Amino acid sequence: MMAGVCSRALRTLLTAALMGVALIPGTAPATYANGSESDLYWMRTEGKFAPPTAFIPSSAVTYDMSLVPAGAHITVTELSDATVTTVELSVSGLRPHRIYGTHVHTKPCGYRPDNSGPHYQHREDVHQPSTDPAFANHKNEVWLDFTTDAKGQGGSASRHEWRFRTGEAQSIVIHERGTATGPGKAGTAGARLACFTVPFGGSNSEGV
Ligand SMILES: [Cu+2]
């Protein structure tokens, strides 16, 4: 009981701290993480999208500069304890009034859009790519679809009662349209427009 209360207080505190960092203007793109030795893992990382051919490689790669322009910005935070994982995403510099499907994928971004691998799944579907709604759904995967405002800014958040398996969640992929949910197409969201390599934390156990 006490552990629950403490963990909740700590979560609030860390969320405030992460938000505080986010509010500092002019902060250089960087990653902050506390490591994953304990039950608690927090991480905040940001990036500026650049094409895969950029002279200075970026952890944020755009494959379609008309829909995710070079220079667009992304910030991702994760906060997990023994039982709950929350992920928050915010973007700016995208096309206005547009829905972008967005998910956590299993591999880091690469030169090609498919380098980021399939979606991270808590319970893994043996059939990949997985389009069975029993597996490809927002509870078993991390979906972070968002709609941009008039300025091209947007954001979303997810909450799951499980933790990532260590090393198996490594990127955020932004797709061309909102995520489908029907049989045979669940989890699909069109072309992979952009990708951001993210150090999601996890646990060697599956958590609760
Ligand atoms: Cu995806």
Q: How far is ligand 1, taken at its centre, from the CA of residue 105, in Å?
A: 6
Segment 141-175, tens digit of pLDDT: 999 999 999 999 999 999 999 999 999 999 999 99
Q: How far is the CA of 93 from the centre of ligand 1 (A)?
A: 20
* pLDDT > 60? residue 205: no
Provide the pLDDT for residue 31: 77
Q: What is the pLDDT of residue 182?
A: 94
Grade residue 202 by pLDDT with cuts at 50, 70 and 90.
confident
Could you list which residues have their CB under 5 Å from ion ligand 1?
103, 173
Distance 152 CA to ligand 1 centre (A): 20
Mean pLDDT of 194-199: 97
Q: Identify which of 91, 53, 87 has the alpha carbon closest to the alpha carbon of residue 71.
A: 91
User: Residue 175 C-alpha to ligand 1 middle, in angstroms?
Assistant: 6
Among residues of the chain, what percentage have pLDDT more than 70?
Answer: 81
Segment 176-184 shows an average pLDDT of 96
Estimate to the nearest angstrom the gap between the alpha carbon of 18 and the chain centroid: 16
Ligand 1 centroid to 35 CA: how many Å?
26
Distance 132 CA to ligand 1 centre (A): 14
CA distances from 41 to 14, 98, 145, 172 (A): 10, 32, 23, 18
Query: pTM of this prediction?
Result: 0.85
Q: Are 196 and 123 in contact (CB under 8 A)?
A: no
Ligand 1 centroid, distance to 172 Cα (angstroms): 8
Burial class (CB in 10 A: 0-12, 13-18, 19+), 97: exposed
Residue range 77-122, pLDDT digits in tens: 999 998 999 999 999 999 999 999 999 999 999 999 999 999 999 9
Instruction: Compute the distance from residue 116 Cα to the ligand 1 centre, in Å.
Output: 9
Cα–ligand 1 centroid distance for 104 (angstroms): 7
